[in-house]
Amino acid sequence: MRFDVITIFPDLFKDFLSFGIIGRAIKKGIIEVRVHNLRDYTKDKHRKVDDKPYGEETGMILMPEPVFNAVENVKVNENSWVILLSPQGKLFNQEIAFKFSKFSQIILICGRYEGVDERIKEHLIDEEISIGDYIVSGGEIPAMVIIDAVSRLVPGVVGKEESLKKDSFFSKILDYPRYTRPRNFRGLLVPDILLSGDHEKIKKWQKEKAIENTLRKRPDLLEKFELTEEQKSIIKKIKG
């Protein structure tokens, strides 16, 4: 799978692409990430990518020509998806990550300043995406979030497929509590059941705690999918 990032700050991606799961996947050739400097697709000597919007006296927006040029140059096939990172976009989630993982190429346009020329939204991109209801300085960090989340779904990127299936939001239920050594830390004890060696009881405890955790932190998740009879029983037990 290939990601192409269009940005005015390409150096921001160097460390992100060099370490961890993403760095290893790139080295193995499982995914490819190309970062393009938007200024390379300008035609004037000043490499200008932004200008004042008509009808306004303040602020700058990205001009259409360099963005169109960049996308048209990096797009390799019809199985590509062009995304604009923007606070006005659809909220990114695991379901959208799955959709993106089916494309052979994802092109990410990192917004900056006060936004982009509307013609980019209307005639160039396939989708506008936000990572949350808050403002960040540009689309670079959201692009990294999408690359990370989508890459994890590409076969071979995550070491064990079972680990991926246990991730929160993969199963639409949050994770259960985890503990490691020491058993007693400042009087705070690891639950006895995890030290019992009884794998069936441990598995049952994990299921119950995962549901309890979801009810407490993100009850909205439980409304988005059909619960099993076992899960309904656990919820009934928790609620008393």
What is the residue whose two structure tokens read 């008393």? 240
Q: pTM for the full model?
A: 0.89
Contact call for residues 36 and 10 (beta carbons, < 8 A): yes
Tokens representing residue 133 in the block: 């209801």
Ordered mean pLDDT values, 10 residues apiece, the chain (240 residues): 98 98 98 99 96 91 98 97 97 97 98 95 98 96 99 92 60 90 98 98 97 95 89 93
Which position among 2, 34, 53, 114 bears the catalytic label? Answer: 114
Question: Which pLDDT score, from 0 to 100, does residue 233 have?
Answer: 95
Q: Is 192 a catalytic residue?
A: no
Q: Are strands 188-189 and 184-185 parallel, antiparallel or unpaired?
A: antiparallel
- Catalytic site residue from 87, 148, 212, 218: 87
Active site residue 167: yes
Helix 140-151 crosses helix 94-101 at what angle (to 10 degrees)?
Answer: 70
Query: Is residue 140 within 8 Å of residue 13, measured between CB atoms?
Result: yes
Task: Report whether 84 contacts 121 (CB < 8 A).
Answer: yes
How does DSSP assign 34-75, residue by residue?
EEEEGGGG--STT---EEPPTT-SS--EE-HHHHHHHHHHH-
**Structural domains of the chain, with CATH:** 2-151 (3.40.1280.10), 171-239 (1.10.1270.20)
The two structure tokens encoding residue 161? 């497929």
87 is catalytic: yes
SS3 156: coil
